[in-house]
Amino acid sequence: MSSLARKFQQRLLNSNKYGDYVIAFLIPFIPVILSMILGIWKHTKIEDYRFTGYENAINQMTLIISLPLSIFLLRYTSNKLFGLNLNNHNFNKVPILKLFSNTPDIQSQIHTQLKESVFNDIIVYIILILDIVFHWFDNNEYIKQYFFTFLGYKIQYNEIYWANLYLVNKIDIRINLIFTILAYSGQFIIFIVALIAIYLLFSYNLFYLNLIYQRHKHRNNIRGKIVLNFEDANCRFGLNDINSSFNLQLSILIFAGIVLLGSRIPLTTEMILPRITDFDPSIIINNQNLFPYFGQYIIVSLWLLTFFIVMMPTLVKFLPFFSPNRSFQSRAILEYLREFIPPSEDYKYNLNSREVVDAMASKFAWNSFWPSGDDTARFMLYFVFFVCFVILFPRNSLNYISVLVIIIIISVLLGNIFLNIFRWFLGHVDERLVKRKDIKPGDKIMNVNFNQQNQTVTYQYNAAGNISFGSVTNRVDLIGELEKLNNEVSKAGENNVIDAEQVIDVQGQIQKAVVQAKKPEPNKNSILEYLGNAKELISGAVAANGIVTGLMEAIELVKQFF
């Protein structure tokens, strides 16, 4: 049985409920009609006070268009990113599912998980609480006036608005209260819509990052995972199919930024504009004129939060930092690159060769941070910094053109610095991860063949001779072959196929498997774990493929005899 919160989410995100747009139009429109009927539409003078009528409630009236539009955009976004209202025959309309078009069963499974990530009762309750708190602070004065009036206190007031006209006995307090609640209901709803939209972007980007293959988490389980393609000629890790989902987020951010700019200029008092553009220090001390309403703080903060959420996909290159195996020792870059390469694909790269590691690091560096390309990310950063400066120093004047030019220049500089900070941080692991060399994605790494052909010994054990897992018929035979295989690991080290540290690690794992196998009641899972660890440790050495094959055969025999 669905909870009330889940039903609310399902209804809000159901693009087939066209009647909701009419309701969303009427919610802010009805107060306009009522204000005319009640006589609180026009500005006038009451007693010694100037009465501000509902015609001045620009924020409420713009909701007549913006509320239905925001619900439409929310539903469009949920369909585009999550496919909430799509059936199983339209998987390819959801960008992230295109990556799994060759495996329909996995595609269906991910679609289900993707949709379920949207619905979260706790998030709905948190959003509702935040909305109530926001409106409490935004309308604190009106709320206190109503509260103390109902308690019988006489209220002191300086200004009369459509929301507190009852103070001069021109309207019944109950009618005024009902009208005020109706007038703010549209704002209450659009705030919920905005927060849910932000949550959808966060949920999608988090889901995307969790789909990226990481060796420490997924080992050999690559089904249903996005394995980054270092060889993508477009330098986007092979993620072209999902570019549209990230570009949509960018469009939402830009649209929200434009709306934010439009709301800042008219809400900044004319008196303070010259002081703002003259960079008067008193503005910093008394920022009430800069942000005349509490809501201005909120919308600016939410927009900046949205920016950081939209930037989440750039964290792909930093995922190895979350690996418990991460090290900043001499092999850090090797461990870093291996985090993105499944053990089953290690045979493609001889990552024990410095030349190949350098080449792979160069390809890694060429691939962009942002899935749609770093140029797109750079443009986004330019826009974000531009908006930030304009909302801090708004002015509706042609004299402001020179200031705008300066802001544009500063925004471009800061945008480039921001991306360079990403590279600087990643370069602390190893500068090769951010240094773009002549070898680009898609280029053949010639050094692999050269290295193999010019090794002093091209080593591979002879399974048909010294070791033969094919002749194993029982546990005793298998243990004997594992001990022989351990000796072959020593030979591989002597011939410089693997380094001394790997020899110790691999032999240690095989020896643990042998000891466990000799026990009266051996633990099958432990043996498989030890042999799997050994295979993973040595799988990067192309010239030791024979040992890897032997370990794979041993694993299958353990499953058979234990």
Looking at residue 453, what is its pLDDT? 31
Looking at residue 552, what is its pLDDT? 82
Looking at residue 455, what is its pLDDT? 31
Give how many domains the chain has, as a whole number.
3
* Spatial distance between the Cα atoms of 403 and 119, rounded to a whole number of angstroms: 45
9 and 129 co-located in one domain: yes
- From 404, 421, 454, give the residue that closes a domain: 454
* Spatial distance between the Cα atoms of 239 and 235, rounded to a whole number of angstroms: 9
Looking at residue 263, what is its pLDDT? 65
Helices (H), 212-353: 215-218, 243-267, 273-277, 282-285, 294-310, 332-338
Q: Which residues span the domain enclosing 140?
A: 4-211
Taking Cα atoms as reference points, which of 559, 549, 487, 489 lies closest to residue 517? Answer: 559
Report residue 212: phi and psi, to 5°: -65, 130
* Spatial distance between the Cα atoms of 481 and 471, rounded to a whole number of angstroms: 10
Looking at residue 463, what is its pLDDT? 33
Looking at residue 194, what is its pLDDT? 93
Do the beta carbons of residue 509 and residue 534 sit within 8 Å? Answer: yes
Question: Does some domain include residue 463?
Answer: no
Those residues of the chain that have pLDDT short of 50 are: 269-277, 279-288, 328-330, 347, 396-398, 446-465
Question: Does some domain include residue 57?
Answer: yes
72 and 35 co-located in one domain: yes
Question: Does some domain include residue 216?
Answer: no
* Spatial distance between the Cα atoms of 13 and 74, rounded to a whole number of angstroms: 7
Structure tokens at 138: 């935004």
175 and 255 co-located in one domain: no
314 and 429 co-located in one domain: yes
33 and 124 co-located in one domain: yes
426 and 473 co-located in one domain: no
Question: Does some domain include residue 97?
Answer: yes
Taking Cα atoms as reference points, which of 344, 352, 351, 350 lies closest to residue 536? Answer: 344
Report residue 297: phi and psi, to 5°: -60, -40
50 and 189 co-located in one domain: yes
Looking at residue 545, what is its pLDDT? 67
426 and 506 co-located in one domain: no
Residue 229: which H helix or E strand, with range? Answer: none
Question: Does some domain include residue 72?
Answer: yes
Question: Does some domain include residue 227?
Answer: no
429 and 283 co-located in one domain: yes
182 and 253 co-located in one domain: no
Do the beta carbons of residue 57 and residue 162 sit within 8 Å? Answer: yes
Question: Does some domain include residue 222?
Answer: no
Structure tokens at 550: 């032997």
Looking at residue 1, what is its pLDDT? 52
* Spatial distance between the Cα atoms of 340 and 529, rounded to a whole number of angstroms: 21
Do the beta carbons of residue 386 and residue 408 sit within 8 Å? Answer: yes
Question: Does some domain include residue 177?
Answer: yes
172 and 103 co-located in one domain: yes
Do the beta carbons of residue 100 and residue 168 sit within 8 Å? Answer: no
Do the beta carbons of residue 364 and residue 230 sit within 8 Å? Answer: yes
Edge to edge, what strands does the sheet with 44-46 contain? 44-46, 49-52, 160-161
Determine the longest span between alpha carbons in the chain, in angstroms. 109
- From 454, 487, 505, give the residue that closes a domain: 454
CB-side neighbour CA atoms (13 Å) of 490: 8
149 and 272 co-located in one domain: no
CB-side neighbour CA atoms (13 Å) of 523: 9
